[in-house]
């Protein structure tokens, strides 16, 4: 909420602003997967794993390559992952090196001949002229609406002029809770404060630093961070049909535009009509043209993929502001709902203007503002027309804010609804509200998200939604309920009189009085339901329990420049099935999680058993899935999960369409009839029914396989156009009892009372038998050769695998024992002769190292040499040594501090932290090999630095800015405008 100094209520200053928010509509397209020789889709491809560390990090580590436009991924110290999802774009894909970079909204000289200012780092180019050019076109006015001489205000007797940059002021931002801001550290170590501060570093040094508007507040005004333009009656509206409008789509150079936005081959430039020649003033991500129009400033602010324009009118001179449009690759269209869309040559909307509204300083509201397109001498103009009567009424208090917005396709959205203005949509506001507000009446907040794709077989553990609360007048606790929204809504359509529906009871509640900090709601189960398809993702509604007397709360929205809402999703990788990234031993056990995977071929059908999915029953009983059961776990609104032929679940995220996860090279589209189509880049197409079942596979040769289902919804036939029909028969228990192929050969199946697949009899009469425990875990397999395999489990992990077979009348047994060390991401498999194989894996559960250990290895590694230690500040010591050697291989090192084991390392280095300043420690290092042999100790003594009598200095927001020690060392701390620590510099 912007606030205004009282002095501006005593002078004839009118603040009118036009928030032009340009948001990119990007359609995400992914490559497709190949189809194997049998026509069955291979849906998994090996993914890049080089960024993952060989051991877990001490603090969470950002995986830069996993960024998307709206999200980033962290690897946590326990091996789990955290996905942070934002509502405003945070990253862009650099076309030069194809890497994700942090968006930097700061305006800098472009270095081009036109000497324009551009945003420092983004894939959308926002360009601003150094100075405006005097216009040779007169401004549009309506003489009947001008009752005073130019430059006078009808409701005030004195007038004060301002450049605009000092009119609107905001509270200083004291937020320090943002773990996605990188920290740049110079020179030497970072000394600890008396109270530890959690600092998350990133691998990238470029950083976006946004600046809040300066100033203090005494009287609260309606939100002005999205403010817009003032106008009178336009001339010559563009004639259109059915809400469309005629516009220029031919190529126009943007060098003559005062402001332009460009993405790929599409651009829109704005040239103000009736403008003066003035110099632009740049500050961070904002440029201001003072007195661009008579007594009117123009201010532009870049934020991610959005651009805001504020026109600040210091006196009522006109109620029409006109801009000539310079268009390249897009055509403006006047829509029936009062918005203007900009569509590319394919008819896709790139940007659009929302229908505007206006509020005066006391919250007096009017929806009597409109946008109009017109043509004049072959040029296209957009006019914003405000009700001049409202602007001149005696009870109108200046400044007045007119709020149209240019935004994207309105998939990512947040807004609030107001009982005072029940037909107004506030999707472009910088703040969202709950509770009783003096201007807006009873208010409630609505939020919806894009949900990103997650890695294959991700298991969500927890999820939280965080919204930043900035109302400083709140002095008592307030309980805010979070409701699940149950139907579709849009940011421009949701109003008090047209709200989305919610259940009677809230999903979660938070009671707090935090100011300058985040409210946090636990939304774990709801997010799980969104990804599983159990519930559609229509977002949240926030409602204050006491909407009559408790002070309202204000939250930063997507249109704010700082402290954006954040959705955090925590998950683990639990590999299911078989694929390039999932390794299984010869026993069929995945050593990273102990999942037993067994596959069998029945003609062209591939049956796969996963012990980790033993609680799920397919048409062949518990734990079994056949490739013909590949399906989509569809969602009316939200991510879509693809269950492939071996049970692996792949999450397609949202981004206006569907975004494939890593390793899935296919394009998923929802058709107009609610069916789905998965397309490979080689042309193979997989169709799914409205309920997500496999419908048809069309191969590149033109051959098709069609899947039909009976009245009970179960698969009945597969019609292969090249081979014929395969039929499925079911027993009274509801499971497949017989499959007959086009050559009339049959497989027969039987089940036990617990609905487990008991026997499979092939076309030659060979029988394979299975046994299970009470949890449907497969415990025994007997094949037609009477080879028996027995499996033991502990905590859903295979621990022993016995194979008994007969050779020449002699019975023999092979045994594999599985030992899991999750802390060190390693599993050891030992056979009955004592030979051991160690499987080391990364956090994605991908095997990255395999070591064979012979049973007769009793030779220890050599001791480490050249062990050295150095103090890393007052509380840390870093150890390094020359690597030991071994007759097989060194598997790692153990580190002891004063005789106590304090850590382990795979590399010849280790760091100790949280030590006592000025204290001496003895450290010892022991080398180990895979057989468990240990070297003798090598020791060293080291001391931490002795900093004494530190002097701490803080700024007005109580942030540490300097520490001075009696040794002369001085450390200075700098922050961004969100309150996040940016840099620590040793200055002496």
Residue 688 pLDDT: 93
Residue 752 belongs to some domain of the structure: no
For residue 932, being part of any structural domain is answered with yes
Residues 6 or more apart whose Cβ sits within 8 Å of residue 472: 171, 515, 516
Q: Is residue 403 part of a domain?
A: no
Q: Which helix (H) or strand (E) holds 603?
A: none
DSSP run (H or E) holding 44: none
Question: What is the spatial distance between Cα 215 and Cα 8, in angstroms, rounded to a whole number?
Answer: 13
Q: How confident is the model over 195-222, as pLDDT tens digits?
A: 333 333 333 333 233 333 333 333 333 3
Distance separating alpha carbons of residues 895 and 911, to the nearest angstrom: 10
Average pLDDT of the segment spanning 663-676: 82
Q: Which stretch of 2-16, 610-624, 734-748 has the lowest confidence by average pLDDT?
A: 2-16
For 441-500, the DSSP string reads EEEEEEEE-------TTEEEEEEEEEEEE--TT--S-EEEEEEE--S---TTT-BTTBPP
Q: Which segment, 182-186, 344-348, 595-599, 640-644, is predicted with the most confidence on average?
A: 595-599
- The alpha-helical segments, DSSP class H, found in 338-466 are 388-392
Return the pLDDT at 492: 77
Helices (runs of H) and strands (runs of E) counted in the chain = 2, 77
In this structure, the number of other CB atoms found within 10 A of the CB of residue 948 comes to: 10
What is the pLDDT confidence band of residue 39, given thresholds at 50, 70 and 90? very low
pLDDT above 60 for 482? yes
**Rounded distance, CA 546 to CA 485, Å?**
20
Q: Is residue 44 part of a domain?
A: no
Instruction: Tell me which of 261-265, 580-584, 879-883 is least confident.
Output: 580-584
Q: Which SS3 state, helix, strand or coil, does residue 383 take? A: strand
Whole-angstrom Cα distance, residue 221 to residue 911? Answer: 53
Region of 158 (left: φ > 0; alpha: ψ -120 to 50; beta: rest) is: beta
pLDDT at 434: 93
- Rounded to 5 degrees, what angle do the CA atoms 521, 525, 526 make? 75
Are residues 880 and 922 both part of a single domain?
yes
Residue 264 confidence (pLDDT): 84
970 vs 486, more confident: 486
Mean pLDDT on 947-975: 79
How sure is the predictor about 544, in pLDDT bands with cuts at 50, 70 and 90?
very high
Q: What's the domain count of the chain?
A: 2
Q: Please tell me the distance from the alpha carbon of residue 939 to that of residue 924, in angstroms, as a whole number.
A: 4
Q: Give percent of the chain with pLDDT exceeding 70.
A: 77
- pLDDT, mean of residues 87-95: 83
Domain annotation covers residue 812: no
- pLDDT tens-digit map of 98-116: 888 988 889 998 876 666 8
Q: Max CA-CA distance within the chain?
A: 114
The more confidently predicted of residues 302 and 593 is: 593
pLDDT at 705: 94
The Cα-based distances of 664 to 29, 389, 412 in angstroms read 11, 59, 24
Q: Chain-wide mean pLDDT for the chain?
A: 78
Instruction: List, for residues 225-247, the tens digit of each pLDDT value.
Output: 333 333 233 334 444 433 343 34
More confident residue, 71 or 381: 381
Which strand (E) or helix (H) includes residue 531?
helix 524-532
Question: How far is residue 439's CA from residue 16's CA, in Å, rounded to a whole number?
Answer: 18
Q: Where are the beta strands (DSSP E) in 656-731?
A: 658-659, 667-670, 676-679, 685-688, 694-698, 704-709, 715-720, 724-730
Query: Looking at 210-219, 264-273, 351-360, 513-522, which range is the least confident one?
Result: 210-219
Same domain (yes/no): 872, 919: yes
Give φ, ψ of 684 to 5 degrees.
Answer: -65, 135
Give residue 963's domain range. Answer: 951-986
Residue 167 lies in a domain: no
- Residue 537 is predicted with a pLDDT of 86
How many angstroms separate the CA atoms of 959 and 528, rounded? 38
Residue 663 has a pLDDT of 62
961 preceded by a cis bond (ω within 30 of 0): no
How do 589-590 and 340-344 pair as beta strands? unpaired
Residues 870 and 897 in one domain: yes
Question: Does residue 446 form part of some domain?
Answer: no
Token representation of residue 850: 């395999």
| CB of 956 closer than 8 Å to CB of 975 | no
Backbone angles phi, psi at 671, to 5 degrees: -80, 170
> Of the ranges 232-246, 435-449, 498-512, 876-890, which one carries the lowest mean pLDDT score?
232-246
| Angle at CA of residue 417, ends 413 and 423, nearest 5° | 110
900 falls within a domain: yes
Band of residue 153 on the pLDDT scale cut at 50, 70, 90: very low
Tell me: do 908 and 968 sit in the same domain. no
- Region 550-572 average pLDDT: 79
pLDDT at 47 over 50: no
The pLDDT of residue 161 is above 70: no
In this prediction, residue 425 has a pLDDT band, given cuts at 50, 70 and 90, of: confident
Q: Which of 313-317, 461-465, 661-665 has the lowest mean pLDDT?
A: 661-665
Closest listed residue to residue 303, CA positions, set 116, 168, 103: 103
Q: In the predicted model, is pLDDT for residue 879 greater than 90?
A: yes
Q: Is the per-residue pLDDT at 653 higher than 90?
A: no
Burial bucket for residue 939 (CB in 10 Å: 0-12, 13-18, 19+): exposed
Structure tokens at 479: 């309980």
**Least confidently predicted of 611-615, 844-848, 878-882:** 844-848
Pick 856 or 776 by higher pLDDT.
776
Taking Cα atoms as reference points, which of 285, 139, 151, 152 lies closest to residue 212? 285
| pLDDT at position 136 | 60
The predicted-structure confidence for 252-277, as pLDDT tens digits, reads as follows 444 478 998 888 888 898 899 988 99
% of the chain at pLDDT higher than 90: 32
Please report which confidence band the pLDDT of residue 657 belongs to, taking 50, 70 and 90 as the band edges: low
Shared-domain flag, residues 936 and 968: no
Answer yes or no: do 926 and 957 share one domain: no
Q: 701: which residues sit within 8 A by CB, 6+ positions away?
A: none
Does residue 884 sit in the same domain as residue 908?
Answer: yes
More confident residue, 357 or 469: 469
Name the band, by pLDDT with cuts 50, 70 and 90, for residue 695.
very high
Q: What is the pLDDT of residue 199?
A: 31
Which pLDDT value is given to residue 340? 84
Which token pair is 532?
Answer: 């599983």
Residue 468, pLDDT > 80, answer yes
960-985 average pLDDT score = 80
Q: Looking at residue 922, which CATH number applies to its domain?
A: 2.60.40.10
Model confidence band, residue 523 (pLDDT cutoffs 50, 70, 90): very high
| Contact (Cβ atoms closer than 8 angstroms) between residue 423 and residue 499 | no
């Amino acid at each position: 909420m912007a606030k205004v100094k009282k002095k501006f209520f005593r002078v004839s200053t009118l603040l009118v602003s036009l928030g032009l928010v340009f948001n990119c509509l990007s359609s995400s397209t992914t490559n497709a997967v190949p189809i194997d020789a049998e026509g069955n889709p291979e849906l998994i491809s090996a993914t890049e794993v080089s960024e993952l560390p060989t051991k877990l990090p001490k603090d969470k580590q950002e995986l830069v390559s996993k960024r998307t436009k709206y999200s980033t991924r962290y690897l946590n110290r326990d091996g789990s992952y955290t996905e942070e999802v934002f509502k405003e774009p945070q990253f862009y894909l650099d076309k030069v090196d194809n890497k994700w970079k942090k968006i930097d909204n700061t305006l800098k000289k472009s270095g081009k001949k036109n000497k324009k200012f551009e945003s420092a780092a983004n894939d959308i180019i926002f360009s601003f002229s150094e100075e405006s050019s005097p216009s040779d076109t007169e401004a549009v006015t309506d003489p009947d609406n001008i009752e005073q001489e130019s430059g006078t205000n009808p409701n005030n007797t004195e007038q004060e002029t301002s450049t605009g940059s000092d009119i609107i002021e905001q509270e200083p931002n004291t937020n320090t809770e943002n773990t996605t801001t990188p920290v740049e550290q110079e020179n030497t170590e970072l000394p600890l404060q008396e109270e530890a501060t959690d600092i998350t570093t990133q691998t990238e040094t470029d950083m976006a630093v946004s600046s809040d508007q300066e100033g203090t507040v005494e009287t609260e005004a309606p939100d002005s961070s999205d403010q817009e333009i003032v106008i009178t009656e336009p001339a010559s509206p563009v004639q259109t049909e059915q809400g469309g409008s005629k516009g220029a789509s031919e190529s126009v150079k943007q060098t003559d535009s005062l402001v332009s936005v460009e993405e790929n081959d599409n651009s829109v430039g704005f040239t103000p009509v009736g403008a003066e020649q003035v110099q632009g003033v740049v500050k961070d991500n904002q440029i201001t043209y003072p007195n661009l129009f008579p007594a009117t400033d123009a201010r532009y602010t870049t934020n991610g993929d959005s651009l805001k324009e504020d026109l600040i009118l210091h006196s009522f001179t006109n109620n029409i502001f006109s801009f000539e449009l310079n268009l390249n690759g897009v055509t403006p269209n006047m829509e029936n709902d009062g918005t203007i869309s900009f569509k590319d040559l394919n008819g896709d909307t790139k940007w659009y203007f929302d229908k505007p509204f206006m509020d005066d300083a006391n919250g007096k509201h009017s929806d009597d503002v409109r946008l109009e397109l017109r043509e004049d001498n072959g040029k296209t103009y957009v006019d914003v027309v405000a009700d001049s009567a409202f602007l001149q009424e005696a009870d109108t208090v200046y400044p007045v804010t007119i709020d149209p917005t240019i935004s994207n396709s309105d998939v990512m959205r947040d807004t609030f609804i107001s009982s005072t203005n029940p037909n107004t949509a506030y999707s472009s506001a910088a703040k969202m509200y709950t509770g009783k507000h003096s201007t807006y009446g009873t208010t409630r907040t609505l939020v919806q998200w894009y949900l990103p794709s997650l890695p294959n077989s991700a298991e969500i553990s927890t999820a939280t939604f965080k919204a930043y609360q900035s109302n400083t007048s709140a002095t008592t606790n307030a309980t805010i309920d979070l409701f699940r929204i149950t139907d579709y809504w849009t940011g421009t359509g949701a109003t008090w009189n047209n709200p989305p529906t919610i259940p009677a009871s809230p999903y979660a509640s938070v009671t707090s009085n935090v100011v300058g900090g985040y409210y946090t709601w636990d939304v774990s189960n709801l997010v799980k339901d969104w990804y599983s398809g159990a519930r559609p993702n229509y977002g949240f509604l926030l409602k204050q329990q006491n909407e009559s007397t408790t002070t309202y709360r204000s939250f930063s929205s997507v249109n704010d420049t700082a402290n954006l809402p954040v959705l955090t999703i925590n998950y683990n990788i639990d590999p299911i099935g078989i694929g390039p990234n999932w390794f299984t031993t010869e026993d069929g056990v995945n050593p990273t999680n102990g999942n037993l995977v067994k596959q069998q071929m029945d003609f062209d059908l591939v049956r796969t058993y996963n012990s980790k999915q033993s609680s799920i029953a397919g048409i062949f009983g518990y734990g079994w899935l056949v490739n013909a059961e590949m399906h989509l776990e569809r969602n009316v609104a939200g991510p879509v999960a693809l269950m492939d032929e071996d049970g692996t679940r792949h999450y397609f995220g949202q981004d206006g369409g569907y975004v494939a996860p890593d390793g899935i090279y296919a394009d998923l589209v929802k058709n107009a009839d609610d069916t789905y189509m998965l397309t490979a880049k080689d042309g193979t197409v997989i169709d799914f029914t409205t309920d997500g079942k496999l419908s048809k596979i069309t191969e590149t040769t033109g051959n098709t396989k069609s899947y039909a289902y009976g009245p009970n919804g179960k698969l009945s036939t597969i019609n292969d156009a090249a081979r014929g029909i395969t039929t499925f028969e079911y027993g009274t228990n509801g499971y497949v009892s017989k499959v007959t192929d086009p050559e009339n050969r049959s497989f027969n199946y039987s089940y036990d009372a617990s609905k487990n697949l008991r026997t499979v009899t092939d076309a030659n009469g060979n029988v394979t038998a299975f046994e299970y425990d009470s949890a449907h875990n497969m415990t025994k397999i007997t094949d037609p050769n009477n080879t028996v395999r027995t499996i033991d489990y502990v905590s859903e992990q295979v621990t022993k695998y016995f194979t008994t077979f007969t050779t020449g009348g002699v019975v023999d047994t092979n045994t594999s024992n599985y030992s899991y060390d999750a802390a060190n991401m390693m599993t050891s498999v030992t056979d009955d002769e004592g030979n051991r194989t160690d499987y080391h894996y990364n956090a994605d559960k991908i095997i990255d190292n395999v070591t064979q250990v012979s049973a007769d290895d009793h030779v220890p590694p050599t001791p480490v040499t050249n062990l050295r230690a150095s103090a890393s500040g007052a509380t840390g010591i870093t150890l390094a040594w020359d690597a030991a050697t071994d007759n097989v291989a060194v598997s790692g090192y153990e580190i002891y501090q004063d005789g106590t084991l304090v850590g382990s390392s795979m590399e010849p280095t280790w760091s100790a932290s949280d030590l006592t300043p000025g204290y001496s420690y003895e450290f010892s290092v022991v080398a180990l090999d895979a057989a468990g042999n240990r070297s003798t100790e090598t020791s060293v003594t080291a001391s931490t630095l002795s900093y004494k009598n530190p002097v701490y200095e803080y700024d007005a927001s109580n942030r540490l800015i300097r520490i001075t020690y009696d040794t002369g060392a001085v450390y200075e701390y700098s922050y961004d405008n969100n309150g996040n620590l940016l840099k620590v510099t040793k200055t002496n």
